[in-house]
Structure formats: structure tokens, C-alpha cells
């Protein structure tokens, strides 16, 4: 009788004991899942923060940045078991054997993540936000099309200006002479796709020799961008040289970072934008609900004849931010602001590529910057 009772008790608890034993490697098996989830969440969170600040600037509100400085997660597995065996000493002939066996296993699994946020502020971060980006950073954009790189990050190339008032709070006056810059960027992209120009960065000394008898100090020790053209008789190549005012006796154009404008020989001065200027530029791609326009929540840019200016003429092909009263279902990234959802459509590849480029640039600017101010640590 006792042996039979022992076997029944073992049969009840053995599966539970085996399950508990199998849980000893729960942490390692869960690690890839948590890494995947945190990776997705951090990436989406950064895109949300960038979009939120772009929308804020469209409303002339103040941007603000937080960074996740640490994530820690405590995994806790608690297992318990209880059992009861009741043996009847006087079984009834009517109900049979009244022996009762019961088991009460319990298992609890708890994850306790703690996330620390650090405000991105202070002198160093502010300087990086406001100063023009280095041409060295542009070299890191070599994986992106030259057209997107120029239109997003360059303020001017020689005599060509890229809607310069788009990089500050919304102006009442429409930008002038922006179309030649857009055409120039497109021509370079076409030549690049046709393998008729090779664009690369080279290190240069302080002094750069110019055609003629003079030697001038141009730029600084660092990088310059060179574009070598294969066919000087190509119509698009000749257009590029004509737009910059460079004789076609050259077969190379040298772009240097400078606070000067214009062209000297085949050396072209370029002025880059600051990261804040880039955000202001992209904020012009935010579509505003009519009721917000009517309520005067934003400034209206107007053409010389008084008509509203369509900023999509400047930002087309770079980014479009839509709005919706309800949460959008086809959004690659979305934020809720001023009682509306603002989002980038999931099938808008141009905007998504610009976002990827923007996040890379932000990573460069925020690298090795220690945020100041209160640190927020949240147990989730």
C-alpha cells in the first residue's frame, strides 16, 4: 500500500520537478528575445524623438533631447509546490477507495527593467547643435546619394543657395533662388548613377594652390571633397560646370568647407548647415492641420504676391510628415502633438531614408557628450 502511494505521489510531482529543472537556463534562452525587443524599442524611440522635435520646430516650440544612458533588467523566477495525500482507513463499499492525492505547483516569472534617461544639454551639446557640421561628417554620408546629402546638409555651394531661410524659425517671406540648387543636386546624382563622376574625400594641407601666381589659404587641415568627371562633353557635366561658373578646361571640381561664398578656379566654397538648421529645414515638411493655421498656431510663409508658399517645393523628395486625428495604421514612426498624430508613412521610402541619415548624424553629434541636468531613472 505504501509503495503504491509513493509511486502515485511521485507521478504527480515528477513533471513539475522536471519543469523546474528545465527553467534553470531560462535567462540565456530569454536573452535574444530581450535584446531584440530593446533594440526595436530604442530605435523607434530615437525616431520618435527626432520626429517630435521636427514637429515642435514647425510650431516654433522648443526642441528637447533625452538619451537612454543605461538599461538594466532583473529576472526573477520563483517556483513552489504543495501537495496533500489523504488515505482512508475504512473505504466504503459503495464509493470504493477514498484515497485522495492533490498537488499545487506554482511558478512566477518576473522581469524588472530599470531605464536611465539623461537630458542632452550643456555647453558642448549646444555648440554641436548650433555649429555647422564638419565636412568630415559629410564624408560619413558616402553611403547615401549625393542628392540627399547636399539638399539636407548643405546651405550653399559656390553661387547656389539652398533656401537659406529654411534653416531658422519659419519666415514670413518665401525663399528665393532655391531651384538652381535642387537642379544641381539632381544633376550630380544622375552623373553619379551613370558612373560619369567619382566623388570622394581626400586629406589636404592648409595651403591650396590656385591657378595663376597666387597661393591662398583655403579651409583648414582636414578633408576636401573632390568630384572627378569622366566625360567633359557630356551635357549634364557641362551644365554642372556652367551652374558653378567653372571653365570646362578642368575635369575636376574641389569642394572645400569655408565661410566664404563663390568659386576660385575649380575650387568651390561650400557652407554646411548645423544640426538644428537641418531640423528646422525638415520641419518645413510638416503638414499642418487647417484648424491650427486658422488658430494662428504657426507662421505662414507667403510669396511676394501674398499667397501662401508651399514648402514642399523645397523639401519634396526629402521628407513629408502627415497628420491624422486618429492613430495612423501605416506609419513608420508617429508622435502625438497638439491633439493630432503626426507621422511618416511606412511606404514613404524617401522620408525613411532621410530619417536614417538624420539618426546617423545625431549619433555623431551626441557621441562622447555627457548630458547635464537631472538624471531620470525609472523602474518599469
What is the percent of the chain where pLDDT is above 70? Answer: 67
Q: What's residue 231's pLDDT?
A: 95
* Mean per-residue pLDDT of the chain: 79
Exposed e or buried b per residue across 197-207, where buried means at least 16 C-beta atoms within 10 angstroms of its C-beta: bebebeebeee
Q: What domain count does the chain have? A: 1
pLDDT score of 337 more than 60: yes
Residue 264 in domain: yes
pLDDT score of 91 more than 60: no
Query: Using one digit for the tens of pLDDT, what is the confidence trace for 103-113?
Result: 556 555 566 66
Residue 266 in domain: yes
Q: What's residue 351's pLDDT?
A: 94
Q: What's residue 106's pLDDT?
A: 58
Q: How far is CA 247 from the centre of its chain?
A: 40
What is the percent of the chain where pLDDT is above 90? Answer: 45
pTM for the complete prediction? 0.76
Of the two residues 71 and 229, the one the predictor is more confident about is 229
Query: Using one digit for the tens of pLDDT, what is the confidence trace for 10-48?
Result: 555 555 554 555 555 555 655 565 566 767 777 778 889
For range 210-221, the mean pLDDT: 48
229 CB neighbour count, 10 Å cutoff: 20
Containing structural domain, residue 189: 174-273
Tell me which residue of 351, 342, 329, 325 sits closest to 61, measured CA to CA. 342
Query: Using one digit for the tens of pLDDT, what is the confidence trace for 249-259?
Result: 999 999 988 88
Exposed e or buried b per residue across 232-268, where buried means at least 16 C-beta atoms within 10 angstroms of its C-beta: eebebbeebbebbebeeeeeebbbbbbeeeeebebbb
Query: Using one digit for the tens of pLDDT, what is the confidence trace for 58-90?
Result: 999 999 887 766 666 665 555 555 555 555 555
Binned at pLDDT 50, 70 and 90, residue 212 comes out as very low
Residue 110 in domain: no
Q: What's residue 92's pLDDT?
A: 52
Tell me which residue of 251, 249, 246 sits closest to 228, measured CA to CA. 251
Residue 254 in domain: yes
For range 173-187, the mean pLDDT: 94
Residue 22 in domain: no
For range 314-338, the mean pLDDT: 95
Residue 363 in domain: no
Indicate the range of 114-123, 196-205, 248-257 predicted with least confidence.
Answer: 114-123
Amino acid at each position: 500500500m505504501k509503495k503504491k502511494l509513493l509511486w502515485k505521489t511521485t507521478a504527480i510531482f515528477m513533471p513539475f520537478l522536471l519543469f523546474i529543472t528545465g527553467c534553470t537556463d531560462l535567462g540565456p534562452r530569454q536573452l535574444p528575445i530581450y535584446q531584440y525587443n530593446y533594440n526595436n524599442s530604442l530605435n523607434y524611440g530615437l525616431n520618435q524623438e527626432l520626429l517630435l522635435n521636427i514637429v515642435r520646430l514647425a510650431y516654433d516650440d522648443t526642441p528637447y533631447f533625452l538619451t537612454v544612458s543605461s538599461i538594466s533588467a532583473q529576472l526573477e523566477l520563483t517556483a513552489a509546490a504543495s501537495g496533500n495525500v489523504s488515505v482512508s482507513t475504512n473505504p466504503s463499499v459503495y464509493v470504493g477507495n477514498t484515497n485522495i492525492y492533490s498537488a499545487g505547483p506554482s511558478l512566477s516569472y518576473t522581469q524588472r527593467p530599470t531605464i536611465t534617461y539623461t537630458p542632452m544639454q550643456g555647453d558642448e551639446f549646444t555648440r554641436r547643435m548650433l555649429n555647422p557640421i564638419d565636412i568630415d561628417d559629410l564624408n560619413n554620408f558616402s553611403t547615401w546619394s549625393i542628392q540627399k546629402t547636399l539638399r539636407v546638409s548643405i546651405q550653399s555651394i559656390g553661387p547656389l543657395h539652398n533656401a537659406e531661410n529654411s534653416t531658422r524659425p519659419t519666415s514670413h517671406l518665401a525663399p528665393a533662388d532655391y531651384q538652381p540648387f535642387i537642379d544641381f543636386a539632381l544633376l550630380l546624382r544622375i552623373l553619379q548613377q551613370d558612373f560619369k563622376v567619382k566623388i570622394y574625400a581626400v586629406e589636404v594641407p592648409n595651403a591650396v594652390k590656385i591657378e595663376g601666381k597666387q597661393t591662398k589659404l583655403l579651409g583648414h587641415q582636414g578633408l576636401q571633397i573632390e568630384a572627378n568627371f569622366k566625360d567633359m562633353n557630356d551635357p549634364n557635366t557641362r551644365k554642372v560646370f556652367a551652374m558653378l561658373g567653372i571653365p570646362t578646361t578642368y575635369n575636376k571640381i574641389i569642394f572645400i568647407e569655408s565661410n566664404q561664398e563663390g568659386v576660385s578656379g575649380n575650387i568651390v566654397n561650400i557652407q554646411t548647415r548645423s544640426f538644428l538648421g537641418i531640423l528646422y529645414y525638415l520641419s518645413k515638411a510638416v503638414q499642418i492641420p487647417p484648424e491650427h493655421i486658422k488658430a494662428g498656431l504657426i507662421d505662414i510663409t507667403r510669396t511676394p504676391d501674398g499667397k501662401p508658399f508651399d514648402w514642399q517645393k523645397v523639401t519634396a523628395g526629402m521628407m513629408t510628415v502627415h497628420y491624422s486625428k486618429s492613430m495612423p495604421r501605416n506609419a513608420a514612426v508617429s508622435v502625438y502633438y497638439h491633439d493630432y498624430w503626426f507621422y511618416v508613412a511606412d511606404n514613404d521610402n524617401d522620408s525613411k531614408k532621410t530619417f536614417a541619415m538624420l539618426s546617423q548624424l545625431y549619433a555623431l553629434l551626441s557621441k562622447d557628450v555627457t548630458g547635464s541636468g537631472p538624471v531620470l531613472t525609472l523602474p518599469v
